[in-house]
Amino acid sequence: MQSPAWLRAAGRPLRDARRHREQLRDARAAWETEWAIEREIEAIVGSAETVIAGPWLSEVGYETLYWIPFLRWVRQAFRLAPERVVAVSRGGVASWYADVASRYVEIWDLVEPAEFARRTAERGAVKQQGIADFDRDLVAMVEARLGSATSAAAGEGRVAVLHPSLMYRLFAQFWSGHRSLGFLDRHTRHARMQPGDMAPAGALPEGYVAVKLYSARSMPDSPGVRRVLRQLVASLAEQAPVVLLDTGLALDEHADYELAGGRVVSARALMTPRTNLGVQTGIIARARGFVSTCGSLAWMAPMLGTDTSALYVDPKWLHVHLGVALRAAHKVAAGRFAACDLRALHPLEDLLSGGGGQAVRAQAGLPAAAEGSGA
C-alpha cells in the first residue's frame, strides 16, 4: 500500500540531504584524484633532468585530441622546458610534439610493426590505463638509445617517465560525465600544429582534396555505407583531384575503404610504417579540404589550418570527443570543423545494415551537403 502523502513529504528533506551528501562525497573523491595525479606529475618533473613523454601506444585520436594538449598543460603548469622532454610515439610524428619536446624517438626504430602488434595484443587493452611490460621495455630501449642507462646507473642525470596512464586516469572523470568541460580546459592547451616536411609536394596533384575513410564503430563497414562513400568520393573527384590517405598498413583495427581510381589517387606508395602519420599530416596540411571518418586525424586536421568534414553514422561511439574537437577548433581559430551524419543526408537508407531503402538520390546532393556542413 502506498504511503500517505504527508509521510512522503516528510521524508523528502531526508532524501535530499542524503543525495546532497553523496554528491559532496563524489565531488571530494574527484578532487582528491585530481590532486593526487597532479602531485605525481610534480614529482616526476622534479625528479629527473630528462623526462620521457610516452611511449604513446594508443589510438591516434586520443593522442591528438588529449595527450598532446595535456603535455602542453604540463609544460606550462609545471614549467617543464621542452629541452628536457623526449617524446616517444610512432609514425613519424615529431612535428606534433615540436612545442613540448625537443627530442623525439620513433617506436618503429625500436620494434618491428609485427612485434608491436603482438605486444599490444598481449597487453589486452588499447588505452594505456596502466604501465604494461611492453611500455617498460620500450622505455628501456629509449634510455639505451639516449645513452642514459649508463649515467642513470651511476646516479647521474636520471630519467623519469611521464606515462599516458596519468592522462587516462585524470580524464576518466571527464569521459564518464563526472567532470565538466571546464575541468578539461584546465588540464589541456590546444594549439595550431606544424605539418613537418615528410610529404613530397611534387608527388601530389594541384588543388587536391585529402580523403581518409576507414571503418570504425562510428562508421561500421556495411553495403550501405560503402555505397554512399563511393558516391561521395566520385562526386568530389568531379570537382577536384582526390588524394586518398589509405596506408595499406594493418597497424590497428581500422581498415581503409578501397576507393581509388580515375581522379582518385592513393598516397599509399609515399608511406612506410615509420613515416605514415607524418606523411598524412603533410598531405592534409596542403589540401584544399579534408574529408574523413569522424575521429583520429579528423581531430587534428583543423589544427593544421585545413577545413575538415568528419563523417559518421553512429554517434554514440564518439562519446564527448566530438564536442571537445568542435570547441578546440573554435578556440584556436583553426580550420573549420564540421561533423556530418550520413543518415541525415540519406534518411531512407539503412546505412548500418545496408538494408533495402530507397536508392541513393542524385550524386550532386551529397557533396553539396558535405560542403555546406563545413561552414
Beta bridge partners of 360: none
Residues 160 and 251 in one domain: no
Domain assignment present for 5: no
The reported pLDDT for the residue numbered 346 is: 67
Give the least confident one: 150-164, 261-275, 357-371.
357-371
282 near 198, Cβ under 8 Å? yes
Burial class (CB in 10 A: 0-12, 13-18, 19+), 14: exposed
Domain assignment present for 194: no
The reported pLDDT for the residue numbered 64 is: 96
Residues 68 and 169 in one domain: yes
Domain assignment present for 191: no
For residues 261 and 26, what is the distance between their CA atoms, to the nearest angstrom? 56
Residues 153 and 247 in one domain: no
Give the least confident one: 142-146, 212-216, 219-223.
219-223
pTM here is: 0.83
State pLDDT tens for residues 42-53.
Answer: 999 999 999 999
Residues 94 and 134 in one domain: yes
Residues 213 and 162 in one domain: no
The reported pLDDT for the residue numbered 120 is: 86
Residues 258 and 337 in one domain: yes
304 near 281, Cβ under 8 Å? yes
For residues 375 and 373, what is the distance between their CA atoms, to the nearest angstrom? 6
The reported pLDDT for the residue numbered 101 is: 98
Residues 44 and 131 in one domain: yes
The residue among 186, 209, 238 that closes a domain is 186
Domain assignment present for 129: yes
Angle at 94 between CA 320 and CA 45, to 5 degrees: 75
Domain assignment present for 4: no
Residues 137 and 205 in one domain: no
For residues 180 and 316, what is the distance between their CA atoms, to the nearest angstrom? 19
**Full 3-state SS string of the chain:** CCCCHHHHHHHHHHHHHHHHHHHHHHHHHHHHHHHHHHHHHHHHHHHCCEEEECCCCCCHHHHHHHHHHHHHHHHHHCCCCHHHEEEEECCCCHHHHCCCCCEEEEHHHCCCHHHHHHHHHHHCCCCCCCCCHHHHHHHHHHHHHHCHHHHHHCCCCCEEEECHHHHHHHHHHHHCCCCCHHHHHHCCCCCCCCCCCCCCHHHCCCCCEEEECECECCECCCHHHHHHHHHHHHHHHHHCCEEECCCCCCCCCCCECCCCECCEEECHHHCCCCCHHHHHHHHHHHCCCEEEECCCHHHHHHHHCCCEEEEECCHHHHCCHHHHHHHHHHHCCCCCEEEEEHHHHCCCCECCCCECCCCCCCCCHHHHHHHHHCC
CA separation, residue 210 to residues 70, 93, 196, 297 (Å): 28, 18, 17, 11
Residues 32 and 181 in one domain: yes
Domain assignment present for 196: no
Residues 159 and 36 in one domain: yes
Domain assignment present for 306: yes
Domain assignment present for 2: no
Residues 213 and 342 in one domain: yes
Domain that holds residue 144: 10-186
The reported pLDDT for the residue numbered 359 is: 36
- Please tell me the total count of domains within the chain: 2
For residues 125 and 243, what is the distance between their CA atoms, to the nearest angstrom? 33
State pLDDT tens for residues 300-321.
Answer: 999 999 999 999 998 888 879 9
Give the least confident one: 2-16, 228-242, 300-314.
2-16
Top pLDDT among 358 and 133 is at 133
CATH code, domain with 304: 3.40.50
Q: Within 10 A of 142 (CB to CB), how many other CB atoms are there?
A: 24
Phi, psi of 279 (to 5 degrees): -65, -45
Hey, what's the cell of 149? 642507462
Among residues 61, 113, 66, 119, the alpha carbon closest in space to that of 90 is found at 113
Residues 171 and 209 in one domain: no
281 near 196, Cβ under 8 Å? yes
